[in-house]
């Protein structure tokens, strides 16, 4: 049985108030009974953390289909929190901003890190501009959409991790000069958030790192599909097979290409939509989704969906001038949509996007 002091550090504070297990249980109950919807979920998780069960059940984000339930021991969550604390040198009393929904693992782990490491946790609604004007924070986690909307306030944050979706080149340029140390993370529910990071600013080269580097104790390999396989000793996770196609540099570094279940087979050529999306976002200066749709000659053709209220002709002209994409990678068709659907965790929902355009 894990010791109570490992679950709740004596220096942990919630929105500025110190708590022991009893008072934190009372605070959780108040959030459930009187809080806003996002606070109710936080209260539920705090109650789960403080009960006698040794396991915690988490819902996956449903990026590639129906969300699933995944069960972990509390020891595994504690180990993940300590690994993050060691890597980012978080110490008791430091302030952290929780601005992700607690429905999913990224939000839950922000709470766990604070409780285990003795941090001062401040939670706010998971909105696009979450940084309170009156406070500074030592650490926070965001999705790219929040980071993009918060650039002007980043001087209030010392360290920031961003994940859940790729960070665009345009956004990387925007954050290059801010004082905050910003890291893009790689991870998933099954690995209890990040197992690898890459620094996006303040690097020795002056440019964002191009490869993800494993956190201590993590090792990588690839399977026959070139998909990443993760071994994480702190989680007792041995050879977890992902659907992420990567280029493996060694057992500690890789560059991410995209998901194998998103690959478009067009005329016997495999197109990685995430790679194409990154180039189009930079050229179009807006959000883009690249999807394969049935084609009688090619099997699948590459379709680009642009989030815009402008005429699609504007982007068709830009597309013609892009040299960074081969002819087979360029979308054969562009369509406009005023808002690209996203799921509850802020990730682009490709299936719903297809449905909105009557393509499924």
pLDDT in tens, 198-225: 999 999 888 999 999 999 999 999 999 9
Which pLDDT belongs to residue 66? 66
- In degrees, to the nearest 5, what angle opens at C-alpha 327 toward C-alphas 324 and 292? 100
SS3 annotation, 207-221? CCCCCEEECCCEEEE
Helix (H) or strand (E) holding 28: helix 21-34
With beta carbons less than 8 A apart as the criterion, state whether 124 and 97 touch. Answer: yes
Which pLDDT belongs to residue 1? 45
| Angstrom distance (rounded) from CA 9 to CA 212 | 31
| Angstrom distance (rounded) from CA 115 to CA 86 | 15
- 263-356, what's its fold? GMP Synthetase; Chain A, domain 3 (3.30.300)
Candidates 3.40.50.12780, 1.10.3720.10, 3.40.190.10, 3.40.50.2300; CATH matching 4-210: 3.40.50.12780
Number of H helices, E strands in the chain: 10, 20
Instruction: Give the pair of three-digit tokens for residue 84.
Output: 């993050």
Q: Where are the domains of the chain?
A: 4-210, 223-261, 263-356
| Angstrom distance (rounded) from CA 192 to CA 354 | 30
How many CB atoms are closer than 10 A to CB 174?
16
| Angstrom distance (rounded) from CA 115 to CA 179 | 27
Positive or negative torsion for Cα 359, 271, 185, 191: positive
| Angstrom distance (rounded) from CA 116 to CA 11 | 9
pTM, two decimals, is 0.88
Q: Pick out the chain residues at pLDDT < 70.
A: 1-5, 62-66, 345, 359-360
Which pLDDT belongs to residue 226? 95
Which pLDDT belongs to residue 64? 54
With beta carbons less than 8 A apart as the criterion, state whether 136 and 157 touch. Answer: yes
Which pLDDT belongs to residue 268? 83
Length of the chain: 360
Residue 13: strand pairing partners: 18, 120
How many CB atoms are closer than 10 A to CB 215?
23
Residue position matching structure tokens 């430091």: 94
Which pLDDT belongs to residue 360? 60
């Amino acid at each position: 049985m894990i010791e109570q002091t490992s679950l709740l550090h004596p220096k942990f504070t919630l929105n500025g108030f110190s708590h022991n297990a009893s008072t934190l249980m009372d605070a959780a109950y108040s959030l459930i009974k009187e809080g806003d919807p996002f606070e109710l979920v936080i209260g539920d998780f705090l109650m789960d953390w403080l009960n006698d069960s040794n396991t915690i059940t988490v819902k996956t984000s449903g990026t590639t289909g129906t969300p699933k339930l995944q069960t972990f021991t509390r020891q595994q969550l504690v180990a993940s929190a300590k690994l993050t604390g060691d890597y980012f040198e978080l110490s008791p009393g430091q302030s952290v901003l929780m601005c992700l929904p607690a429905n999913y693992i990224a939000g839950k782990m922000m709470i766990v890190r604070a409780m285990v490491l003795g941090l001062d946790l401040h939670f706010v609604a998971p909105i696009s501009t979450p940084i309170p004007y009156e406070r500074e924070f030592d650490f926070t986690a965001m999705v790219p959409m929040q980071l993009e909307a918060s650039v002007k306030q980043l001087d209030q944050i010392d360290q920031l991790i961003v994940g859940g979706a790729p960070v665009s080149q345009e956004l990387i340029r925007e954050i290059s000069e801010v004082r905050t140390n910003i890291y893009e993370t790689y991870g998933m529910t099954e690995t209890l958030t990040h197992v690898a990071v890459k620094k996006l600013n303040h690097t020795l080269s002056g440019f964002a790192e191009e490869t993800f580097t494993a956190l201590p104790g993590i090792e990588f390999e690839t399977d026959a599909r070139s998909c990443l396989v993760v071994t994480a000793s702190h989680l007792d996770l041995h050879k977890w097979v992902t659907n992420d196609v990567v280029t493996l540099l060694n057992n500690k570094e890789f560059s991410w290409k995209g998901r194998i279940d998103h690959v478009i087979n067009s005329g016997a050529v495999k197109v990685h939509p995430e790679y194409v999306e990154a180039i189009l976002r930079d050229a179009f200066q807006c959000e883009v989704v690249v999807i394969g749709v049935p084609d009688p000659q090619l099997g699948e053709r590459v379709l680009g969906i642009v989030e815009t209220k402008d005429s699609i002709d504007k982007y068709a002209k830009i597309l013609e001038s892009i040299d960074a994409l081969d002819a087979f990678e360029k979308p054969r068709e562009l369509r406009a949509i005023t808002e690209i659907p996203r799921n509850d965790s802020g990730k682009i929902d490709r299936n719903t996007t297809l449905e909105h355009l009557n393509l499924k």
